[in-house]
Chain A
Amino acid sequence: MNNAELYALIIIFLVSIGTYGLRLSGLLLSGKISNEGKIRIFLDYLPPTLLLSFVTPVILKEGFAGIVAILLIAVCMYKTKNIFLSMIVGVVTIAISRNFF
């Protein structure tokens, strides 16, 4: 085994431990403190705000097509409650805009 391979193994090992540690410690710590009202509200807000933070910059980078895609997804979710269908609507909208505009 050469040096580069050894370095790669060390990196993979450290990132594996660190990532698992982050996943587990978040859960274990929140279990200890979540009975207080304030923290409870904070934790309840985490899922939607994490999702929004994920998607907003990417959507805005797509520009007008991104906004149209999101509106269509909203309408589709409201009417059908079908996540798969909503995904197709969003992807097709972006694919059309990337290929034809």
Chain B
Amino acid sequence: MTANINISNDFINGAKANTPIGLSVFAYGAVLGMICAQKGVEIYQLTLMNVFIFAGTSQFIIVDMWNDISEIFTVVTAALLINLRYFLIGASLNPLFKERPLRDKFIYMHLVADENWAVTIERHKRENITPLFLFGGGICLFSIWSIGTYLGYIFAGFINDPSKYALDFAFIAIFTALCFNLYQGKKNLIPWLIAAIIAYVSEYLFGGNLYIIFGAIAGSLAGMILEEKKYE
């Protein structure tokens, strides 16, 4: 019995912990809904993307390129390049899924977004949580995201520019706060600095979204090399 209670608690706690960041997700979804309405995307197409892709930025890219929808290869490549970071995100979730059955991995990985991933990783450092925490967060974000997109779609004409209220900055603020919580001391300084610099420079040079991958790989490699030296 206790085990069951703990499991459902993890689900609910995950959903609760993702509610603040949901504000940002809602605003982002509403903007996507608005653009969908303008571009002539049907509600069923928006729904299919929300359910099966569930990755905001790549949905924006697809809808952005909606007028050139016949260029299937270009659109798919652009969307998947943006989602490449999910490979690294998946890799970083390994400790959470340790000794979990394969079935859990197949089920819970679909609803992994940047937001519930970040919230889960940070909580996992402090508490012994299960993948249900991640999944609860995913369901919470999926609901908020979908409602946001539909309201944006329906009320496309009424919404003012959300950037005026800095709602687009909400998830940046939360990611920054979560990142501070992951700080473990001076040994992190140089790898973190390298990640930030490489991300900034590659965004400046190449645009797009690959800077996230470049920064993360550069910083993690630096951390690996520096810490390994200490053991020698």
User: A residues engaging B (CB < 8 A)?
Assistant: 3-5, 7-16, 18-20, 22-31, 34, 37-39, 41-60, 62, 69-70, 73-74, 76-78, 81, 83-84, 86-87, 89-92, 94-95, 98-99
Contact = CB atoms under 8 A, between A and B. Distances in A.
Interface of B: 20-21, 23-24, 41-42, 45, 48-49, 52-55, 58, 62, 66, 69-70, 72, 75-76, 79-80, 83-94, 97, 105-106, 109-110, 112, 114, 118, 121-122, 163-167, 169-170, 172-183, 188, 191-192, 195-196, 198-200, 203-204, 211-221, 223-224, 227-228, 231
B94 A31 contact: yes
A84 to B, nearest CB: 4
Contacts of A48: 179, 182-183, 188, 192, 195, 219
B91 A73 contact: no
21 contacts: A11-B62, A11-B69, A11-B72, A12-B45, A14-B76, A22-B87, A23-B112, A25-B87, A38-B228, A41-B228, A43-B91, A43-B220, A47-B92, A47-B182, A53-B198, A56-B215, A58-B172, A69-B173, A86-B176, A87-B177, A94-B169
Contact of A16 (B21, B52, B66): B52
A73 to B, nearest CB: 5
A23 B175 contact: no
A87 B75 CA distance: 34
Contact of A41 (B48, B192, B198, B223): B223
A18 B191 CA distance: 30
Contacts of B94: 27, 30-31, 34, 43
Contacts, number: 265
A74 to B, nearest CB: 6
